[in-house]
Amino acid sequence: MSGVVVQQIERADNSVINGLAHCGVSTVHEAQGRTGLMGAYMRPIYAGARIAGSAVTISAPPGDNWMVHVAIEQLKPSDILVIAPTSPCEDGYFGDLLATSAQARGCRGLIINAGVRDVRDLTEMGFPVWSKAVSAQGTIKASLGSVNVPVVCAGAHVNAGDVVVADDDGVVVVPRANAVDVLAKAQAREANEADKRKRLAAGELGLDMYKMREKLAEMGLKYV
């Protein structure tokens, strides 16, 4: 089942991808019905990055990063690498050399359910990574995995070409086929929130704005 590289994958339009990046993880996650979120243990190596891109997926043996080299050849500008080891691992699969190579092909960042290293260099390069761990522990090149096959990464199912959005709130996966629709809903949420934000900043209460008082009383809430 492993040992396969899928070369042709479909990607969402760049304008859709960039629109999703702009909305950010929490808004996109809400917009698609609260699905596709990776585990909260996936943390960025530095604060402030907000990216989206098409997933180039890697199913990798634990402690073996050979397939990363294979995957980099498949990268197109705006892509994001998504690495899912086949058993739990926190070794450092990826460092500054691989990042240099990926960045040279237009890759926007890395999502890895394992470890990353050279984080100071990656930070200086502006190559963002969301990972389970930071670890200097290197990996080997002994076994095959696959590239651009479906993977489960940090609890989320990812198909190659799905749109991955990542920021300080975490990482969410948008199935490619839904990307246009999810973007529309996310932008609608944003517009809607801008107005609410103003009213709340002015001191209006959510209790009133959302008309919650009656429902709460009916449920039996008691003020004492």
> Which of 15, 152, 177, 184: binder of its own copies (CB under 8 A)?
152
Is residue 155 near its own copies by the rule CB under 8 A?
yes
Nearest in space to 132 (alpha carbons), one of 84, 187, 80: 84
> CA-to-CA distance for 147 and 140, rounded, in angstroms?
17
* Partners of 83 in beta bridges: 58, 112
Question: Minimum distance between the CB of residue 73 and its own copies, rounded to whole angstroms?
Answer: 5
- Which DSSP helix (H) or strand (E) runs through 50? none
> Which of 18, 22, 46, 190: binder of its own copies (CB under 8 A)?
46
> Which of 22, 134, 180, 187: binder of its own copies (CB under 8 A)?
134
> CA-to-CA distance for 32 and 112, rounded, in angstroms?
23
Binding-residue pattern over the window 79 to 98 for its own copies, x denoting contact by CB under 8 A: -------xxxxxxx--xxxx
Is residue 197 near its own copies by the rule CB under 8 A?
yes
> CA-to-CA distance for 105 and 136, rounded, in angstroms?
25
| Region 93-132 residues binding its own copies, contact defined as CB under 8 A | 95-98, 100-101, 103-105, 115, 117-120, 123
What's the farthest any 2 CA atoms get from each other in the chain? Answer: 68
Query: Based on CB atoms, which residue is closest to its own copies, 18 or 105?
Result: 105
